[in-house]
């Protein structure tokens, strides 16, 4: 799964999470298309993944809306 520094393909690429890696979801964008995750190996500790590429254990609507960087 590609991780970016904001909720969109135009944001900077940060890293790739291999299949099966578990990350904590910390928020979402208003459109529920992107999910913010906690990520230890980047400077601000956060990254964004496209919502259809991950599996959540809660409904996406339960995540708080986070402003874009």
pLDDT digits (tens, 9 = 90+) for 8-40: 999 999 999 999 999 999 999 999 999 999 998
Give the whole-angstrom CA distance, residue 11 versus residue 24.
20
- Residues 32/61, Cβ–Cβ less than 8 Å: yes
Model pTM above 0.85: yes
pLDDT digits (tens, 9 = 90+) for 5-14: 999 999 999 9
- Residues 47/4, Cβ–Cβ less than 8 Å: yes
């Amino acid at each position: 799964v590609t991780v970016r520094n904001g909720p969109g393909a135009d944001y900077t690429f940060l890293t790739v999470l291999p299949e099966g890696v578990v990350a904590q979801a910390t928020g979402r964008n208003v459109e529920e298309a992107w999910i913010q995750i906690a990520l230890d190996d980047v400077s601000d500790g956060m990254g964004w993944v496209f919502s259809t590429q991950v599996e959540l254990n809660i409904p996406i609507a339960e995540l708080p809306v986070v402003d874009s960087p």
